[in-house]
Structure 1
Amino acid sequence: MKIEFPGQSVIVSGAAHGFGRAIAQAFAARGARVYACDIRTGSLAETVQGGAGQLQAAGLDVTDRAAVEALVQRVVNETGRVDVVVNNAGGVLGQVGRPLEQVSPAEWQAIFDVNVNGAFWLSQAAAPHMKARKYGRIVNISSGAGLGVSLTGIQAYASAKAAQIGLTRQLAHELGEFGITVNNVAPGFVRSNPTTERQWESYGPEGQQRLLQNIALKRLGSPDDIAHAVLFFASEYAGWVSGQVLSVDGGK
């Protein structure tokens, strides 16, 4: 199976590190013109420098609807098309698990703003351009937390990722008649960024071993494992696949 994207325009949010960086670089290596987006512009430079092909950085706060619309319009102005959108921006925003009565409204809302609203704004902005060409691929990056219980213990994170999965299924039915597929990758625990490194260290040797024993393959995955699932959903091999959630977690 050879997957390539020559001439296609791809937008990847949350591309400053981890999954987003691996996804952006994977598309660029396969011929796509990639806009790697993130609010952390300094780290985006590392994504671009470590990539190949047509990979460029684009500062973006996905919670800013106007900024999202401007970015999509820029891509259309420069390339004439938007073929693939990968909604990877998200995470826990530095929060840690606490009893629910200690969670402030602002903390709850912040996680929803990035993980759910951001995916909605970017999909909403790209959809008219995809509809016009009768083609498009939207891939959302959720989490195993959206399908079960979050290892972080963060209520908003588990809820937001579940909401993103619901959004995936709803948009798949709304956009399918226009040749647009919408799918979701639900990663398991991967040491992919400073937050997951801190989480891994917090488990200690015994906790780390328990986590590994609960994985069928008895090992952690890598950001590239997540990128490969995204490439499949964005490829012609997944042309009749939509509204699906693919758990990439080593087997649970």
Structure 2
Amino acid sequence: MNIEFSGKIVIVTGAAHGFGRAIAQAFASRGARVHVCDVNEAGLTETVALCGAASSIAHVLDVGDRSAVQATVAKIEAADGGTDILVNNAGGVRGQVGRPIEEISESDWQTIFDVNLSGAFFMTQAVAPGMKQQKFGRVINISSGAGLGISLTGIQAYASAKAGQIGLTRQLAHELGPWNITVNNVAPGFVLSNPTTERQWEAMGADGQKRLLDNIALKRLGKPDDIANMVLFFASDQAQWISGQVISVDGGK
């Protein structure tokens, strides 16, 4: 299957490392013009260097800030026209660890929702008018196995926000479908993709690592490219009659 994106305008959030960087590189290597967004400016600079300056542009952006999202998308579309593909990858646990429910503050809860759920909504809201006008669009949300089951770290807000993102995917698929806009979701399993997941892996210890691997059908961890490959499929013409779906990319459970 030869998947190409020549001439397509792509926005990838959370692109400073991990999944987002792999996804941005995958699109750039297939001819797309990729706008990479993150709060981590240094990481974005590295991503642009890997993608190639001719193929990618960096935007420092907090996706939980609706006004900033609207301004950034307006800037992108003024320069390049309507967005063809949006990948809502920004997310994570914002440095939090699992704690009992009674210890969770309002800000602890809200900050995780801001980036994992509100950010996906705000970004899609911003690109939707342009996608409707051109009668074409692909939105791919990156959730987590935590959104389908439980969080390995025990972080209540993370599991809840990712489950909410899956619900948002299904709802928006029906709302935006009449304009030939598909909305799908990739739910990654545990992948060593950034400093947070590397710390989680180390904290498991040898016994915990073995238990995790024993519960994976393929008996190994995945790579960021495994997630990027699923995103490419959802964004491709081969997936033009697929919408509202959630695919687990987790080595088999």
Could you say which TM-score interval applies, normalised by the shorter chain? over 0.9
Q: Which residue of 2 aligns with 1:36?
A: 36
Deviations 1:99-149 (A, max 9, x none): 001111110011001100000000000000000000000000000000001
**Which residue pairs with 2:15 in the alignment?**
15
- Which amino acid in the other structure matches residue 86 of structure 2? V
Task: Report what 1:109 is aligned to.
Answer: 110
Rounded to whole Å, the distance in 1 between the matches of 2:185 and 2:171 is 12
Post-superposition CA distance 1:158-178 (Å, at most 9, x none)? 000000000000000000000
Distance 2:82 2:39 in 1: 23
Contact 1:145 1:151 in 2 (8 A): yes
Deviation at 1:42, TM superposition (A): 0.9
* 2-structure distance, mates of 1:69, 1:28: 24
For residues 44-59 of structure 1, the aligned pairs below 5 Å read 44-52=44-52, 54-59=55-60
Is 1:81–1:129's contact at 8 Å kept on the other side of the alignment?
yes
Q: Give the secondary structure class of the aligned counterpart of 1:85.
A: strand
Q: Which deviates the most, 150-159 or 43-52?
A: 43-52
Q: Distance in 2 between matches of 1:83 and 1:58?
A: 17
TM-score, normalised via structure 2 length: 0.99
Secondary structure at 1:217's aligned position in 2?
coil
Structure 2 residue 53 is the aligned partner of structure 1 residue 75: no
Question: Aligned residues: percent identity?
Answer: 69
Q: How far 1:51 moved relative to its partner?
A: 1.6
CA distance in 1 between partners of 2:141 and 2:222 (Å):
19
CA distance in 2 between counterparts of 1:108 and 1:55 reads 33
In the alignment, does 2:203 pair up with 1:176? no
Query: Which stretch shows the higher mean deviation, 127-136 or 54-63?
Result: 54-63
Deviations 1:182-222 (A, max 9, x none): 00000000000000000000000111011001000000000
Q: Does 1:211 align with 2:224?
A: no
Write the distance in 2 (CA, Å) between the matches of 1:69 and 1:2.
34
In structure 2, C-alpha distance between the alignment counterparts of 1:114 and 1:96, rounded to whole Å = 16
2:222 corresponds to which residue?
221
Q: Is the 8 A contact 1:25 1:55 kept in 2?
A: no
Contact 1:108 1:156 (8 Å CA) reproduced: yes
Gaps of 5+ in 1: none
Q: For 1:106 and 1:64, locate their aligned partners in 2 and report how far apart those are by CA, in whole Å.
A: 15
| Separation (CA, whole Å) in 2 of partners of 1:51 and 1:125 | 24
Return the TM-score normalized by structure 1: 0.99
Q: CA–CA distance in 2 between the matches of 1:80 and 1:95?
A: 38
Aligned to 1:3: 3
Match of 1:198 in 2: 199
Q: What is the SS of the residue equivalent to 2:58?
A: strand
- 8 Å contact from structure 1 (residues 143, 186) kept in 2: yes
Number of aligned residue pairs: 252
Q: Which moved more, 1:187-196 or 1:46-55?
A: 46-55
Cα deviations by residue, 1:212-235 (Å, 9 ceiling, x for unpaired): 010000000000000000000000
* SS of residue matched to 1:48: helix
